[in-house]
Structure 1
Amino acid sequence: MKELRHITAKHPWKNYELGLPVIEKAGVAHKIDFRESQALPVLDELMQEEKYRGWFDFVFVDADKENYMNYHKRVMELVRVGGVIGYDNTLWSGTVVAEPEYPVSEYVMEMKDRFLELNRHLAADPRIEICQLSISDGLTLCRRIS
């Protein structure tokens, strides 16, 4: 089995400190490489190393929403054919499928257009098969087929 890697962007919830005791209890801490950083520069670093191209089995994206299209460009290079990419929040409070009946912030409405663009792009990308799940704020799973 390949070594597991996890890359996390700076996050106010302190994912590392929260998850580390669970990871240690499971006995897999030696398989995880935590990197606290902005995600795009780390992905760019990984793309510079040939060994990481097509290396990852699974990538989960739940980062700065403005850059989901940039993440897709990069992780498609890093995930293997047959691997899966998960994009969180792709229904964006339901606003990408319906106009909200309640007032939402300007940020939510601005991001709605970005998620609509991402969803259209993913649906048209011939390198992947997708499945969009309506759980919580939406989750899109993409299986790389080429």
Structure 2
Amino acid sequence: MGWIADLLKEIPSAAKFKADLEDMEKENKNLKEKNQDLMRKLNLAERELEKEKSFTNKLDPLADEVLRFLISVDEAQASQIASRLNKSKVIIEMHLSDLNEREHIGVRHVLSEEPIYFLKQKGRKYLHANGFI
């Protein structure tokens, strides 16, 4: 308390003020602890909300098509996907790269062949959250 305590010693009937000050300090400490707890809960809720958003944020319509195709065949190469969706292989590879970065799909590299793409759990959750399955 420092200088406030010294001042209260000099004032008659300061005991009441000192008790009030001590009560306020306790209340302040309790409020700080409660604030920390609420901030922790808020951060947790924000992380969960962000996690949910990652499944409901709409992707490019062609990326949706790629995911829907992969769920129907389990795995495929970029050329197979491009042929089936009647799109350029370069465009399909661009979307496959993006989907892989977002961890919606995985990729398996095979010697002397094109990479093989497959749907991961996050991709399935995205399709489900957006009503595709």
TM-score normalised over the length of structure 2: 0.29
- Answer 1 or 2: which has greater helix percent: 2
Larger radius of gyration: 2
Greater strand share, 1 or 2?
A: 1
